Amino acid sequence: MARSVREVLLPALCQARRAGHRVGRLVEHCRGRQALRVAVMAALAGGTLAAHAGVFDDDEARQRIEQLRNQLQLIQKSVDGRFGSLEAQVQDRSALIELGSTIDKLRDELARMRGQFEVMANRIEQAERRQKDFYADLDNRLRRMERAQEERAKEDLARNDKLKEDKEARERAEQESAAAEGKAYEAALAAYKAADYKAAAQQFEAFVAAWPESPLAGNAQYWNGNALFSLKDYKGAKAAQQKMVASSPDNPRVPDALLSIASAQAELGDTKAEQATLKDLVARFPKSPAADQAKQRLARRPAR
């Protein structure tokens, strides 16, 4: 009549297995170990005791219950071991999830750094290109400046050579002109001294026309007036001397020219103008020999 322990416990073990499966499904929802344990033990105890409540008598039931308690303890240890394994797996999974999240973050950071690196590489490439273009442009400018400086140096050298040539040509011309000037003046003066007053007058007039800025122009004009006076061309003589006084006021022969003007005025019968010229001569050049002659003439001809 009495059944074996295997027959008695087999339904309980099946129920325990089904309870263990339910526990596995509830692991994700129940993180507390005590709650899970209580649920397992309640399921096992309830199912086992309910299944065998009316099978055994009291003594046998006690024995069976004791055996079931022992079996239950073994099952509890097994469940605890499985729960610990599951908990370790859950922790490992959390670590893996956290590791995966960290890897994703690192990948995002790496992608961001790659983007920044590409941007910086592009900027560096553009900067190198700009720098290369800048140096190329600078080199071209320097070359143009060097060529321009060389051209200016050549132009300056040519200009200096031209100026030097022009200066030398002017100096030669001046020397030649001075030589010709001196010869012309000496020839006119020689004609005057030779009493060839007509030739002298022509040559002095030509001299003044050819060298109006010459230092000898004033003297040439004076001798021209004297030559004309000797030719009895008193109007021409007066005009020549007046021109000499006006063009060369600092010439030392101005007093003599004024005296010659007064003489021409006297020959023309303009006594009043003669006396005025003589007085002007005495007033302007009182210490000159010409002023002494003017005083003597004024003394011989009292003012009217």
Q: What is the CATH number of the domain that holds 289?
A: 1.25.40.10
| Domain contains 14 | yes
Q: Which of 12-21, 124-133, 261-270 has the lowest mean pLDDT?
A: 12-21
Residue 12 pLDDT class (50, 70, 90 cuts): low
Which structural domain range is residue 33 located in? 5-109
The pLDDT, as a whole number, for residue 13 is 53
| Domain contains 9 | yes
Boundary of a domain, candidates 109, 125, 153: 109
Residue linked to tokens 């002095």:
204
Q: Which of 85-94, 144-153, 169-178, 246-255 has the lowest mean pLDDT?
A: 85-94
Boundary of a domain, candidates 94, 109, 124: 109
Q: Which of 47, 52, 77, 75 is nearest to 63 (CA)?
A: 52
Boundary of a domain, candidates 67, 82, 109: 109
Q: Please give the Cα distance from 203 to 187 (Å, whole number).
A: 8
* Assessment of whether the complete model's pTM goes beyond 0.85: no
Q: Please give the Cα distance from 201 to 196 (Å, whole number).
A: 9
φ/ψ of residue 78, rounded to 5: -60, -45
The pLDDT, as a whole number, for residue 50 is 45
Reported as a single tens digit per residue, the pLDDT across 244-268 is: 999 999 999 999 999 999 999 999 9
| Domain contains 74 | yes
| Domain contains 257 | yes
Number of domains in the chain: 2
The pLDDT, as a whole number, for residue 192 is 95
| Domain contains 185 | no
| Domain contains 143 | no
| Domain contains 47 | yes
Scanning the chain, the segments in alpha helix (DSSP H) are: 5-26, 33-52, 58-193, 197-210, 217-230, 234-247, 254-267, 271-284, 289-300
